[in-house]
Structure 1
């Protein structure tokens, strides 16, 4: 029997079985049951319909993690319109490019970010502008809560196919103009199923939104958490103290956080010693880059939370691997931290390989480096209006696999460990150096709060490792610390891997999801060079 896989099924199921249960804890203090949440979604669908939005049209959503984002997303998708979430850290110029590229037909924007859209209003191909607080926004904007009042919520859905594109997620643009990643009902649905299984999401979970909803639809959690009938706790930003308070007050059982978020939590815990759990045990998923073992140790042994390291990319769903391989480690053994730092094993139904330049699998020796390629039902349909880029993404080393651009090794169990991005690997005097290995070593130094390592040009070696370090507040002598860090890495690792220079900064440039934008650091170092690679 064949039943189409549609993203609208997730909210339908929650309303059918959990209508009177709490669905959303809003940032405004309001609380909505699934019946109430669903009714607001229906009304927003009706509003869009009345303004001419149809199946296949694109509806942009610019919003932090509020209930409006969830309502706008499902309200669009019920019409078969394409949910197009936007990264709220971008500039007006960025939005102008994306909105024109996507050809959006309507925009919902939170009042705190609507001015960025207002600035380019004449360049945007739509006349439908909706916000949550029209009085706080210049220009002609409609207020979400006002326009859904008095609207007939009975909206007839169009016929939809599981192969229809239902979301476009734009890449973070760290290497050029953002590309629109097309995802279908089928890819979104199967990815949400996989998340529900591997992240063990249940109907009694209380999920705290610290991960941006715009980021590949919050790693698919706008679907998985909803479909399971669990509770969404919304937020307007990431503050370590607020996170701990909310975990306790709302009995949060599950959240996600990039390593930078984990670092903030650890720093706050070290200084404030907050309570870390409410009535529920807490699970946390992290991704973006490998967290240091010391961070994982603190999260699990001090916070009492269970950490899972997952991995993927916007183009892959995103999630394709997990470190949660409990038959390969003992929960009471310190050895588990080294395993949890790995990106891990492929998700169910996901073919994850590490291949050499000829497309052949590298040996499982945990030493030979190759590129991570993946094939699975959660992988994107392609890039919006970019067939050549789509072809290149699936064909460089091996045909039919998405090429992640990440370099990794594979151990005896088939668990991968990312060593670097292809563009970030440091080749010094003919030797490959992993920036991640260096970063992990530097993270263990008590004076280092955050760090990123990139290649710097060298007349002698072609490239040498350069560290950008955010020092702890109590560092008095940066010059002495630089010498100390250089020697520290020389003692911790093979001498050729040691950093040669350290630049101290107040903060590292990051995307909204906490991924360090190394290309900015590289550009700073290589601006006087003819090319961005050394001749080592």
Structure 2
């Protein structure tokens, strides 16, 4: 299925509602707009396998562009609009975009990249792009284009870029499906629909940026099944609760930092909103501290569902609340691919042994665009169809996966491996910690020492006393040798808008 299916039966139903402005896009409007753009792009010469790059804030029109590409056999590359102009221009060039669609909501970035990209088709919606001359007005370009569905509608795909937390972002290019847009067989619909109970009655709250894989793919899945997506322009903890209350949201997806910030709202604020309509609260993107997840279950009930995957879609695990309560800290059993834990030489390890997490698939599901070396590095040395994104973890006797950290972030102190995630989890709910990152810093005696970098809430006094308090707090919870030997305080930690720590930036300050 795709939105056009529902435009025929429920044309006036909202496909999208913006949480801040209340702007609505109906299924009829989404179908007509995406068909017009699809016809326009085809007339402009775009062919199956070409790329449409999209630079936009969260807005309903983003879905019009997305579905136009999906029904045209095109790749759509949604670009992080928080990037600098050189970073964004690099992605547009690297993906080989034949069309570039920008929003006036990010006019500064759109103007800054104009002279540094090669896309022959350039459209701008939502207003003018001051200082730019090459963008054609989107509405004018498609105004006279027929809204009839194209006769041939091969299924497209997203080609998204890694978040770049450990290096320059790379395009993740899947194989295009060999089917039409209205034919069955969509991976995400077939997987997520039954897993989370998505259907035409779903009201799904998306609080994250839509250029990220999970928000884009999940909201598109809900639209394919005929539900309504409520999109936040940007995350605010109290506003999120208000939207659940206002729209009787049934499903939602979060990252752990959002949980932490909602939990730190005053109790009377949290209690003032009715969240009883929630049936499923999905979380992923980053490991969730056990104490944080337990607190959310105590508040919202046994409706938390966690998955572990990646933009590369190398595999996936899943766990619901009852099973998590039996195995706190696990991210579940495999539901896509087979988990393989291997040491540095590629030898498969047994239960309880920490190693690199690979997923075995029938075939390798992706390649890194323009980077065969990185594609090769993601493969197991002996099995091409075993791939990894560099996470470390172990499985128990029943095949439940536990993540320990990213291989690139592991600290080796005195010859002992220390996983920063464990220390970060210990500090996450301390009342004087708003955000925290743990890194290894050079140490003459130990090789590396554990350092915590803490962003305190506004008004908290920092200094040696708080440093000692936080170190003692960690030592009460995990082995003493894992505790930070020092704590620095900062006004800001580099995170992507989807909640991932950009430790590369942080480590560059110290190493």
What is residue 351 of structure 1 aligned with on the other side?
338
- CA drift of 1:443 comes to 2.0
Question: 1:149 and 2:143 equivalent?
Answer: yes
Q: Quick one: which of 165, 170, 175 aligns to 1:179?
A: 170
CA distance in 2, matches of 1:279, 1:459: 55
SS of residue in 2 equivalent to 1:174: coil
1:52-71 aligned at under 5 Å gives the runs: 52-71=45-64
1:457-491 deviation digits (Å, cap 9, x = unpaired): 11111112110112233422421010112222223
1:247-258 aligned at under 5 Å gives the runs: 247-258=244-255
Number of residue pairs the alignment of both structures matches: 503
1:88-145 deviation digits (Å, cap 9, x = unpaired): 1111101221111112111111212132132121221124322222236442333434
Question: 1:230 and 2:224 equivalent?
Answer: no
TM-score, normalising length: structure 2? 0.91
Question: 1:24 and 2:21 equivalent?
Answer: no
- CA drift of 1:241 comes to 2.2
What is residue 302 of structure 1 aligned with on the other side?
299
SS of residue in 1 equivalent to 2:261: helix
- CA drift of 1:345 comes to 1.2
Structure 1 residue runs of 5 or longer lacking an equivalent are 1-8, 330-334, 527-536
| Mean CA deviation greater in 37-46 or 272-281 | 272-281
SS of residue in 2 equivalent to 1:43: helix
What is residue 182 of structure 2 aligned with on the other side?
none
CA distance in 2, matches of 1:205, 1:435: 37
1:239-254 aligned at under 5 Å gives the runs: 239-254=236-251
Question: 1:99 and 2:102 equivalent?
Answer: no
What is residue 466 of structure 1 aligned with on the other side?
451
TM-score, normalising length: structure 1? 0.87
What is residue 83 of structure 1 aligned with on the other side?
76
What is residue 366 of structure 2 aligned with on the other side?
381
Q: Contact between 1:179 and 1:383, CA under 8 Å: does it hold in 2?
A: yes
Q: Contact between 2:54 and 2:77, CA under 8 Å: does it hold in 1?
A: yes
What do you get for the CA RMSD once the two structures are aligned? 2.5
CA distance 1:58–1:486, shift in 2 (3 Å): same
SS of residue in 1 equivalent to 2:98: strand
Q: Contact between 1:316 and 1:379, CA under 8 Å: does it hold in 2?
A: no
SS of residue in 2 equivalent to 1:236: coil
CA distance in 2, matches of 1:305, 1:70: 32
What is residue 122 of structure 2 aligned with on the other side?
129
Question: 1:48 and 2:41 equivalent?
Answer: yes
What is residue 167 of structure 1 aligned with on the other side?
158
CA distance in 2, matches of 1:218, 1:422: 26
CA distance in 1, matches of 2:34, 2:462: 56
Q: Quick one: which of 313, 316, 331 aligns to 1:316?
A: 313
Question: 1:292 and 2:289 equivalent?
Answer: yes
CA distance in 1, matches of 2:4, 2:176: 14
Q: Contact between 1:57 and 1:105, CA under 8 Å: does it hold in 2?
A: yes
SS of residue in 2 equivalent to 1:268: coil
Q: Contact between 1:309 and 1:342, CA under 8 Å: does it hold in 2?
A: no
What is residue 390 of structure 1 aligned with on the other side?
375
CA distance 1:500–1:181, shift in 2 (3 Å): same
Structure 2 residue runs of 5 or longer lacking an equivalent are 179-184
Question: 1:480 and 2:468 equivalent?
Answer: no
